[in-house]
Amino acid sequence: MSPAPTLVFAWGNPGRGDDALGLLFAAAVEALALPDVECLCDFQLQVEHALDLRGRERVLFVDAALDSAVATGQPFQVGLLQPRRDASFTTHAMSPQALLQVLRELDGREPPPAWLLAIRGIAWELGQPPSAAALAHLGAALEWATGWLHRPA
């Protein structure tokens, strides 16, 4: 069976406040039951996840982001990713760019187009639920993503 053309790959820690935003995003997308979209979640990106990118037409990586990592006043930010070896390449947790680079090296060709959706988080305390502000940012990100996911890959 071939994989769905679009992969939504979210990661985060549901036990650390707003760090759960990526996972909540993926759960909401999964509830849409879109036929050409698959969601995958984990606590962090690892080298083995490069294999999950094979056969895709596009990938949307989704994670919570520190307030300072998102443009001022914006609830989320989306950017096209390029494969790149970085310091995470030899660690347990990898960046999406390094994961794309691993796939490029494994297959000897370009990986699928990939974007990073960074949803602005505010509070990261252990054992706390996501903040109200972050949930509002999640809602805005889902509104944007619904249009993106309904476009052909």
* Average pLDDT per consecutive 10 residues, the chain (153 residues; last block may be shorter): 94 95 98 95 93 97 84 89 76 83 95 96 94 96 95 81
Note the pLDDT of residue 61.
Answer: 98
Note the pLDDT of residue 88.
Answer: 57
Query: Which of helix, strand or coil describes residue 72?
Result: coil
pTM, rounded to two decimals:
0.93
Note the pLDDT of residue 69.
Answer: 66
Note the pLDDT of residue 37.
Answer: 96
Note the pLDDT of residue 89.
Answer: 54
Note the pLDDT of residue 92.
Answer: 54
Which has the closest alpha carbon to 24: 147, 131, 152, 148?
131
Q: Is there a contact between 21 and 137 (Cβ–Cβ < 8 Å)? A: yes
